[in-house]
Chain A
Amino acid sequence: MDSTDNHILKVENVTVGYSKIDILHDVDLLLRKGEIVSIIGPNGAGKSTLLKTIIGLLNPRKGSVYLQNRDITGEKPERLVRQGISYVPQVFNIFPSLTIQENLEMGAFTRTDDFSGRMKEIYELFPVLGERRNQRVGNLSGGQRQMVAMGRALMLDPHVLLLDEPSAGLAPKFVSMIFERIIDINKTGVSLILVEQNAREALNMAHRGYVLATGRNVLDGEAKALLANEEVGRLYLGG
């Protein structure tokens, strides 16, 4: 891959794991400016691990991560969020005893400027959050919690947003709603990496996709091409 490419995030040859066991082996990934990239693959393929490595929760044993051509390998998450990457974990992605508004304020913790305008934009993206801004997040439904989680991550106006299974465990009406919002967010210029179980949906909305299995790159390419690929269809899209 040449470095003059318009990529915003690049993962190169990353090997990473917990204690002695490697989860990912020599994984590559590229995110171009303005793209949605979906990572699909079976359970245990290492999709979430890849996101955790990008955001700095895990340190790669080998390989590098670049943000806009700058090596960010091994940098701590609390520093990375100031450089334009935000991450929404799959679970434990909200502060349950805080109100919606306080959750968003915590998302903006590192901002010293006036972020009320940004908060207004997020309430416009998710109107229900604005209506309930003083409610404790712990009392909200799963779909609304996911909105809070994404809202929190968006408060810093990130260039790159990493989403780990945003549709997991949600009622069907919320799944399509969350996917629509992801496309809206992308249209505001945010580049996204999306990890999903819901592989067909994830590829439908993505520009490109990566298939991971047992911690290795299996396939990557245009999302349309992956959707049309017979082997991908049989193995990962449920026929």
Chain B
Amino acid sequence: MLELFVYGIVLGSIISLGAIGLTLIYGILRFGNFAHGDLMTAGAYIALFFVTGPLKWVGIPDNMFGPFSFGWRIVVAFPFSMLAVGGIAILLDRILYQTLRNKEAGRVTLSMSALGASFIVRMGVLIIWGPDYKFYKPGLIRPALVLPAGIKIRPDQILILIVVAVLVIAVHLFLKKSRMGKAMRATSDNMELARLSGIEIQKVIYYTWGIGGALAAAAGVLYGIDVQVHPGMGWNFLIPLFAAAILGGLGNVYGALAGGLIIGVVQQMSTAVLLPTYKPAVAFIIMIVLLLIRPQGIFGRSSR
């Protein structure tokens, strides 16, 4: 049981990264980005591209190091993937969502177009890389560490938790300390007043997509390191992402963090009694129950 809890925290931390981006985008643009899971997929595959392509060509070694079960190339590929997906998200806004906003499209239209964008991204991945499961570093997985109290955890997973913590703290500092971060929170609070204060809303929107996309890429790569990559991975994450964001109160960044961890743990613990195949269903049930009894989420939007 304790082991499932630990795996749940690892899975949950990955869900949190995606859910934070989802909730940031919702806070500013007020629509559910159904393409968010596939931005994770895009991130995972762009990293795979770097690992098997450019980084190999320039001769970066890919030997495993320390206690980890991955090579140096994925470490180098990680920030490139975040940058690239941040850019893709901004580009999607530029050519798709911005056009729709200018035509005063409603939030349902925006969500549906995001769903369309998600298919484009996923099918693009499928066409380029095929449907197979892939690893960043094929080969044996290094043994798990046994911590006190008999908790087994792989060194990779410890690193994943550390990377997520660093990214979450970075987002926190950005939102609390930087001028643009404060403008993002202000715009999320009251877009018209933000305009009346001279804040350039479009710039805030680009930052939001950039950060949301980069976090999604990070989540995708970390999942790829923990498990493996395949074209449907992000799509399978979509329900847990939404469940986590709603649980935390849409628009609430810290709520999304907590929501992600809760969903991850509950999903993983459910495998003690249910087949693992039902994991997505567990998230779905949590989401439905939540929407019925407490649609504003546990933490609410105003509790930031």
- Which residues from chain A sit less than 8 Å from chain B, CB to CB? 55, 57, 76-78, 81-82, 86-87, 89, 92-98, 102, 105-107, 109-110, 138, 152, 156
Does the CB pair B198–A98 fall under 8 Å? no
A82, B200: Cα distance in complex, Å: 12
Instruction: Pick the interface stretch among B82-90, B155-163, B183-191, B255-263.
Output: B183-191
Q: Is B94 an interface residue (CB 8 A)?
A: no
B197 touches A81 (CB 8 A): yes
Please state if B198 and A96 are interface contacts (CB–CB under 8 Å): no
Shortest distance between the CB of B123 and any CB in chain A (Å): 39
What B residues does A81 contact at CB under 8 A?
A: 196-198
Which one of B179, B196, B302 lies within 8 Å of A97 (CB-CB)? B302
Chain A residue contacts of B302, Cβ below 8 A: 96-97, 138
Q: Shortest CB–CB separation between residue B207 and chain A, in angstroms?
A: 14
Question: In the bound complex, do residue A95 and residue B198 qualify as a contact, i.e. CB atoms below 8 Å apart?
Answer: no
> With A97-B185, A138-B302 in contact, do A106 and B199 touch (Cβ < 8 Å)?
yes
Known contacts: A105-B182, A138-B302. The answer to whether A97 contacts B198 by CB under 8 A is: no
Q: Which residue of A lies closest to B251 (CB)?
A: A97
Q: Kindly provide the distance from the CB of B206 to the nearest chain A CB, expressed in whole angstroms.
A: 15
Q: Which of A82, A109, A152 contacts B183 (CB 8 A)?
A: A109
**Beyond A94-B190, A98-B186, A98-B189: 17 further Cβ-contacts under 8 Å?**
A57-B196, A76-B195, A78-B199, A81-B197, A82-B198, A89-B192, A92-B192, A94-B193, A95-B189, A97-B185, A97-B188, A106-B182, A106-B186, A106-B197, A107-B197, A109-B183, A110-B197
Complex-state Cα separation, A56 to B195, whole angstroms: 11
- Asked if B200 contacts A95 (CB within 8 A), the reply is no
B304 at the interface (CB under 8 A from A): yes
Please pick, from B185, B190, B198, the residue contacting A109 in the complex, using a CB distance under 8 A. Answer: B198
Nearest B residue to A111, CB-CB: B198
Interface size class for chain B?
Answer: 20 to 34
Identify which of residues 198-229 in chain B touch chain A, using a CB-to-CB cut-off of 8 Å.
Answer: 198-201
B182 pairs with A77, CB closer than 8 A: no
Whether A77 lies near B199 (C-beta < 8 A) is no
Residues B190 and A152 in contact, CB atoms below 8 Å apart: no
Q: Can you list 29 residue pairs at the A/B interface with Cβ under 8 Å?
A: A55-B196, A76-B195, A78-B196, A78-B198, A89-B196, A92-B190, A92-B192, A93-B193, A94-B190, A94-B193, A95-B186, A95-B194, A97-B302, A98-B182, A98-B185, A102-B182, A102-B185, A106-B182, A106-B194, A106-B199, A107-B197, A109-B183, A109-B198, A109-B199, A110-B197, A110-B198, A138-B302, A152-B197, A156-B198
Inter-chain contacts of B185 with A (CB < 8 A)? 95, 97-98, 102
With A105-B182, A109-B179, A138-B302 in contact, do A78 and B195 touch (Cβ < 8 Å)?
yes
User: Which one of B190, B193, B302 has the greatest number of beta carbons of chain A within 10 Å?
Assistant: B193
Q: How far is the CB of B33 from chain A (nearest CB, A)?
A: 21
By Cβ-Cβ distance, the 8 closest A-B pairs, closest first, are A110-B198, A95-B189, A81-B198, A95-B186, A106-B186, A97-B304, A106-B197, A78-B195
B196 touches A87 (CB 8 A): yes
In chain B, residues 115-134, which have Cβ atoms closer than 8 Å to a Cβ of chain A? none
Q: Is the CB of A109 within 8 A of B189?
A: no
Q: Are B189 and A97 in contact (CB-based, < 8 A)?
A: yes
A206 shortest CB reach to chain B, Å: 23
Residues in chain B near residue A93, CB distance under 8 A: 193
In the complex, chain B residues whose CB is within 8 Å of the CB of A57: 192, 196
Bound Cα distance A92, B194 (Å): 11
Please determine whether B179 and A92 come into contact, CB atoms closer than 8 angstroms: no
Residues of chain B contacted by A78 (CB below 8 angstroms): 195-196, 198-201
Q: Given known contacts A97-B302, A105-B182, is B190 in contact with A77 (CB within 8 Å)?
A: no
